[in-house]
Amino acid sequence: MSDQLLVSTRKGLFSAHRTARGVWDLDSVSFLGDNVSLAMQDPRDGAWYAALDHGHFGAKLHRSKDRGATWEEIGVPAYPTPPEGHVEKDFLGREIPWRLMRFWCLTPGLPSQPGLLWAGTLPGGLFWSEDSGATWTMVEALWNMPERRKWAGGGADVPGIHSVCVDPRDGNRVVVAVSSGGVWHTQDCGKTWTAHTKGMRADYAPPELVEAPESQDPHRMVQCPAAPNIWWIQHHNGIFRSTDDAMTWTEIKDVKPSVFGFPVVVHPKDPDTAWFVPAIKDERRIPVEGRVVVNRTRDGGRTFETLGRGLPQSWAYDLVYRHALDLDATGERLAFGSTTGSVWISENAGDDWITLAEHLPPVHAVLFV
């Protein structure tokens, strides 16, 4: 059971904890005024990581070995130098710079791989570190793959890797999801890559590209730790599930109030239980009818419950980004934060929600630690 939550926001990394009275309170902030795009806790040594996006001064990475009391700046990935005169453009003809713009996810390796970290970045980069983030190496096989040139901006102006899942059975097997650019597998720790998106569709693409792997825009991808053959994706076009280890995908339709959204989390022990935060898709991107709700399925997507007890049910326009919903290790405590600075916590798997904050800066990510 986790009693502490980290909230990564546009203006700092906030911490909240559960008091002895059972109330959640904000208690501290690190990097106040700076854009914190995400945080990560390494379960192997307890270290915290915070990724900053300074805008003027670039993306930085900081690590704390004392749960946020002090931080040290560590290394950041470097993109390769492009060939002289080379200007890369996406398939729509827009320039893609070969330089680090932002961290979009940080994922630890397995317990058997101490010090190994993976970083998904904008634009479209995957890096790994063998020394807890001091130095980084680009996974060049993925960067140099011709199909990468077909990736496009989805959640940002340039394509990016937002989900990195390391197989709990085999640390050499890694699956990444790209917005927008599909789902890519490696079995050999990054040397070779294959797309597996059969079953997905991209209605926003031209008809002949609807099923193309590179057209797919997974917003967030998760793998059930206890049942690693079961995967969930909140896709731009809806909700998809895989029961064959992310090889093929089944669309889950007719989910009310909407199949659109950004985040998904899966119960750590029950692969049939997952949570989503629905929104009106595309041009609006606001809660349906101004009601903030969470959708929960407990039967693998056959049915959903729409949970709103304790959440604003009128005149609310909170959008929840892909990393801004988290679940603790018990599967009972959930938290999510919004673009309008609200954060809510549930201690009973989403049945009831309490408001932690209403006036924080825009929330990029939340994390139980």
Q: Which is nearer to other proteins, 97 or 114 (CB)?
A: 97
Among 46, 55, 111, 114, binds other proteins (CB under 8 A): 55
CB 16 within 8 A of CB 27: yes
**Per-residue binder mask for other proteins (CB under 8 A), 58-97, x = binder:** x-x------------x--x-xx-x----------------
Minimal distance in Å, beta carbon 12 to other proteins? 13
CB of 177 to other proteins, least distance (A): 25
* 213 phi and psi angles, rounded to 5 deg: -55, -40
SS3 content of the chain, % helix, strand, coil (to 5): 5, 40, 55
Indicate whether 57 belongs to the interface with other proteins (CB under 8 A).
yes
Assigned token pair, 173: 């097997």
Among 11, 18, 65, 99, binds other proteins (CB under 8 A): 99
Helix (H, G, I), strand (E, B) or coil at 209: helix
CB 171 within 8 A of CB 130: no
Find the shortest distance in angstroms from Cβ 83 to other proteins: 12
What minimum distance in Å lies between the beta carbon of 57 and other proteins? 4
Buried-exposed string 144-180: b where 16+ CB fall within 10 A, e elsewhere: ebebbbbbbbbbeebbbbbbbbbbeeeeebbbbbbbb
- In angstroms, what is the minimal distance from the CB of 62 to other proteins? 10
- Interface size with other proteins, residues (CB under 8 A): 14
Q: Which C-beta is closer to other proteins: that of 103 or that of 249?
A: 103
Closest contact distance (angstroms) between CB of 74 and other proteins is: 11
Buried b (16+ CB within 10 A) or exposed e, 13-26: bbbbebeeeeebee
Q: Which is nearer to other proteins, 79 or 204 (CB)?
A: 79
Q: Which CB atom, from 81 or from 112, has the smaller least distance to other proteins?
A: 81
Are 259 and 252 in contact by the 8 Å Cβ rule? The answer is yes
Whether the CB-CB separation of 219 and 237 falls below 8 Å is answered with: no
The whole-angstrom separation of Cα 330 and Cα 1 is 6
Closer residue to other proteins (CB): 79 or 317: 79
Cβ closest to other proteins, residue 81 vs residue 314? 81
Stretch that binds other proteins, among 55-63, 249-257, 298-306, 356-364 (CB under 8 A): 55-63
Q: Look-up: residue for tokens 């993109």?
A: 79
CA distances from 178 to 120, 233, 352 (A): 9, 11, 33
**Minimum distance between the CB of residue 67 and other proteins, rounded to whole angstroms?**
22
Pick 138 or 292: Cβ nearer other proteins: 138
Question: Could you say which residues in the range 25-54 bind other proteins, by CB under 8 A?
Answer: 54
- Within positions 117 to 156, which residues make up the interface with other proteins, using CB under 8 A? none
Cα distances from 192 to residues 120, 172, 216, in angstroms, run: 17, 11, 20
| Shortest CB 105 distance to other proteins, Å | 20
Quick one: tokens of 45? 């040594």
Cα 286 to chain centroid distance, Å, stands at 19
183, 218 in Cβ contact below 8 A?
A: yes
Q: Which CB, 158 or 165, lies closer to other proteins?
A: 158
The DSSP 8-state label assigned to residue 289 in this structure reads G
Nearest distance from residue 82's CB to other proteins, in Å? 8
Interface contacts to other proteins, rule CB under 8 A = 54-58, 60, 73, 76, 78-79, 81, 98-100
